[in-house]
Amino acid sequence: MSSYFTDLAQQYIDGEWRPGTGSWDIIDFNPYDGEKLASITIATVDEVDEAYQAAARAQKAWAATNPYARRAVFEKALRIIEDREQEISEVIVAELGGTFLKAGFELHLVKEFLREAIHLALRPQGRIIPSPVDGKENRVYTVPVGVVGVISPFNFPLLLSLKSVAPALALGNGVVLKPHQNTPIVGGSLVAKIFEDAGLPGGLLNVVITDIAEIGDAFIEHPIPKVISFTGSDKVGRHVATVCASQFKRAVLELGGNSAIVVLDDADIDYAVDAAVFSRYVHQGQVCMAANRVLVDRSIADEFTEKFVTKVKSLKVGDPRDPQTVIGPVINSQQADALSGVVEQAIAEGATALVHGTTTDNLVAPSVLTDLPADSDLLRQEVFGPVAFLITFDGEEEAVRIVNDTPYGLSGAVHTADIERGVNFAKQIDTGMFHVNDGTVHDEPIVPFGGEKASGLGRLNGESMLDAFTSLKWISVQHGRSGFPF
């Protein structure tokens, strides 16, 4: 495993591994024990430019490559991940503080999305569209946008990098990837290594490990990329969208959430408890789709609450390398401090802590809070950690109102014995995704993924990848002669 953190602690530009030329280093720490994993000299604005120039140079030939030949690269990338799965799992655990359960969950999705990328290479098709003009043939081609800039987050860095990188490449584009500073290997250079070993031509995929303190807006302002795919906070997403709009770039934004899981009066309580605990506490709650809010009908609230609290208290907190651990560390001390602040603020506002988790270094034990005033800002913001707000309601109408009372609209779930009741409930929620009798955390390769309101712009996955990373070009052919008015 250590070789990943030594060999890959570099920039990957124009098919070459090389150090950055910045004046300082990003230090990659294990969030559980503070071990220094890697030291990476950052990329400068000049290197961002070199990466984009390389992608633009390589992209033309790649777009002209037979899509069956492009497809072979993704088939090999999939085999590489399958062969190295154990090593990659260990790297995920070390760099993210994720458990092996979480690493397995992430790698399962990575393989599914690569399988979809294999098919995506053959997806673009042209169309012939009728014309009102005699003798005219209208051809519509699906073409690559050119170069895509990808900015990925720290929570599922391998998946959320590959989720944009692989489709963009499969559809004939070049890519420059900027991973999060806390996960430069898993979210960045590991992706480059997989594709390099899979035979992707040099220059098509570039990885720049850097920080906005060094490059400012250079990554998103650069004139070459036509699309910026960003996954992260809504605050940064708003800025990315503003810059992109001012330069007529397309922005695909997968942003934060404040999802709710709703337990109606006829729900299977034991099953709903399991779904709610997973939806809130998977990967320490550092998931955009996580259920910040757990809404329970008042008629079953006592039974649900007792079982929910009992299960939360049973979750083992500690070393993510321990197979029994469910709650590992959050990504860094700033996150840990912020989460402690959320709990203290909630209590100060009048909430009752049914479970009051302690914080030790980056280990934040689960908290369950109830009786938070309905007008509290905490109920309307994303809490990126293992803190659950329990809310009781009287009837579906009130539940719908509470669920929608947030700036976000990403995911959610409802539990009920009546499936159509659940579907009708889901239709009333202002989200891009909603699940009946399941958890809030789901992603599938061919189902449109994305949010409403402050949770993002656009969709990824399946056919939506064509909308994100290709453009349409109309070429008309006039058979015979056109008539002109003068």
Catalytic residues: 254, 288
Question: Are 449 and 458 contacting, i.e. CB atoms less than 8 angstroms apart?
Answer: no
Tally Cβ neighbours within 10 Å of residue 348. 8
DSSP H or E run through 88: helix 85-96
Rounded-to-integer distance, Cα 347 and Cα 371, Å: 9
Task: Describe the chain by its helix, strand, coil percentages, rounded to 5.
Answer: 40, 20, 35
Rounded-to-integer distance, Cα 225 and Cα 53, Å: 10
Which of 303, 254, 259, 310 lies closest to 280 in space, CA to CA?
259
Which of 443, 378, 377 lies closest to 410 in space, CA to CA?
443
- Which amino acid, residue 178? K
Tally Cβ neighbours within 10 Å of residue 337. 13
Instruction: Provide the 3-class DSSP secondary structure of residue 14.
Output: coil
State the number of CA atoms in the 13 A half-sphere of 226 facing the CB.
Answer: 16
Tally Cβ neighbours within 10 Å of residue 157. 27
- Which amino acid, residue 152? S
Tally Cβ neighbours within 10 Å of residue 94. 26
> Reading across the β-sheet that carries 470-478, which strands appear in turn?
127-129, 136-144, 470-478
Name the pairing type of β-strands 352-355 and 291-297.
unpaired
> From residue 280, how far is each of 164, 165, 397 by CA, in Å?
25, 28, 24
Instruction: Provide the 3-class DSSP secondary structure of residue 327.
Output: strand
Q: For residue 466, what are its two tokens? A: 């064509």
> Nearest-5° angle of CA 314, CA 318, CA 320?
110
Question: Are 21 and 47 contacting, i.e. CB atoms less than 8 angstroms apart?
Answer: yes
Question: Are 413 and 261 contacting, i.e. CB atoms less than 8 angstroms apart?
Answer: yes
